[in-house]
Structure 1
Amino acid sequence: MDIGHLIGLVLIFYAIKLWGDQNTTHSFKLKKLSETDQLTGLYTRRHFDQQLTNILSTPSDELKFSILLINIDNFKSINKEYTQAAGDFVLQRFANKLKDFVRQTDVIARWGGEEFIILLHNSNNTIAKQVAEAIRTKTELLCIEYNQDIINFTVSIGAASYESELKDDQVIDKAEKYLLAAKAAGKNQVDVER
């Protein structure tokens, strides 16, 4: 083999490696985009569902977790009074605040619109209520400045804890039931499974 062929082979191998590295980087970026809500930077609903399915598929007699379903009260009025851009800003700031209330092992996602969901690992109703109340009271005190306006808002939260006989969607359904009860009770409330 002459030197020209050898250089040609080296260049081909280099090009293949470079293409593989770029493809891996591109795949990683696409995966991150599919898992992350573009506006808030939190996980998407789809990714949250996958995480919950993974947790429930791991056999364990000691599996304990809670679900918090959070809704920003009267969010449409924020959009109406301050503009949709202000509403988006509120969602972003609130999403960042939510991260302060959970551990790195917990999972936070934007559930849809102005709803968020949190999976609290190794949790029960008592812990879920404490975390939910902390989120509710801190949100009530939160002042978000947007274009020289101060936007205040509250949240309603429903919480439910996993029991071994429940399916994954049933624990979320229970949390939603308690969220609806919190909103019906006048909003700015936490309702937890008793």
Structure 2
Amino acid sequence: MIKRKFMYAFILLSLSIVLVVNYYSSLESLWMLILIPAVTTVILCPTWKAAITVGFSSFILMVITEFVFHRVQPSFRDAVHLMITGAVEWIIFMTASFFQIRTAKMIAELGNLALTDPLTKIYNRRYLDWNLEKSSLFPNKEQSMTLILFDIDYFKAINDTFGHNAGDMVLKKVCRVVKEIIRESDIFVRTGGEEFLIFLQDCSLEQGIKLAERIRKTVEETDFVYKDKRIYVTISVGVSKYSKEKDLKEFTEKADQALYQAKETGRNKVVVI
């Protein structure tokens, strides 16, 4: 946040200096200095919408300053020089913007890859550990929060009987089923091989239990077919409610105990602790 505030201040200061210098100077090439605040803006907001807006705004600002507010009206020759300077500035700016936007996109994609499970395309354990360590998983801990922890019953038997490709199909389809049920604000994480976790922010325990039961029932009723062979898939679910007196690690351990009970007492059920 401090870094962004500094960059905003730098943009305003450098833009002010560029306007003052070019208002009192008759040297058109000094308008190249406007690249400093323009490129800094794109670094701060690396999108093509921002780049095009800043590029056109810089050109219009240059024209207005020279032809409307300048103390000495430029000659035709000066106007030509100004247009050439503007064109060169535009080319340099758009080139710099292209590389900055592409770099920012690549960094974002690498970040997503590091925090996303490549098979199911949901968050992975690294994402969970990173946020638990920072205690930033939920910015508002005053809200009610519920945790659902579930795993696929007898998943090893599915792999052994139908093969690992069938297992991968089951994992991906279970995730699609769950994603269609939960809200966009809910955080869905693959924590292990066949184990998954869902953080429900602003969700009471009663609502969480209903959602967990809906997920369990939907998975049980979903057709899982691999090479014309139907695979019967169920899940065991543990549910716990977050308490302000406990940290998020205790929160997850409580749900893990509930999941263990669900598996030990028959599987394909929801247990609440």
Q: TM-score range by the shorter chain?
A: 0.7 to 0.9
- Give the unaligned 5+ runs of structure 1: none
What letter matches 2:230 in structure 1?
A: I
Asked whether the equivalents of residues 79 and 86 of structure 1 are also in contact (C-alpha less than 8 Å), the reply is yes
1:81 alignment partner, one of 161, 167, 172: 161
2:136 alignment partner, one of 54, 59, 74: 54
2:221 alignment partner, one of 132, 137, 141: 141
Asked whether the equivalents of residues 177 and 218 of structure 2 are also in contact (C-alpha less than 8 Å), the reply is no
What letter matches 1:140 in structure 2?
A: E
Structure 1 range deviating more: 71-80 or 129-138:
129-138
Alpha-carbon distance in structure 2 between the residues aligned to 1:132 and 1:13 = 52
* Structure with the higher strand share, 1 or 2: 1
Asked whether the equivalents of residues 182 and 190 of structure 1 are also in contact (C-alpha less than 8 Å), the reply is yes
Number of matched residues?
189
Alpha-carbon distance in structure 2 between the residues aligned to 1:109 and 1:59 = 20
DSSP-derived class of the 1:22 partner: helix
Partner residue of 1:65? 145
Is 1:180 paired with 2:236?
A: no
The alignment's C-alpha RMSD in Å is 2.1
Displacement, 1:49?
A: 4.2
What letter matches 1:24 in structure 2?
A: A
What letter matches 2:220 in structure 1?
A: E
**TM-score, length-normalised on structure 2?**
0.64
Q: Percent identity?
A: 31
Structure 1 range deviating more: 9-18 or 116-125:
9-18
Q: Deviations over 1:69-103 (max 9, x none)?
A: 01100000000000001000100000000012211
Alpha-carbon distance in structure 1 between the residues aligned to 2:164 and 2:216 = 23
Question: Structure with the greater relative contact order (CA < 8 A, sep ≥ 6): 1 or 2?
Answer: 1
Asked whether the equivalents of residues 224 and 233 of structure 2 are also in contact (C-alpha less than 8 Å), the reply is no
Between structure 1 and structure 2, the one with the greater Rg is 2
Is 1:26 paired with 2:94?
A: no
- Give the unaligned 5+ runs of structure 2: 1-28, 30-80
* Structure with the higher helix share, 1 or 2: 2
Displacement, 1:48?
A: 3.3
**TM-score, length-normalised on structure 1?**
0.88
1:164 alignment partner, one of 230, 234, 244: 244
Q: Deviations over 1:36-85 (max 9, x none)?
A: 210001111222344562145x355x321111001100000000000001
DSSP-derived class of the 1:54 partner: coil
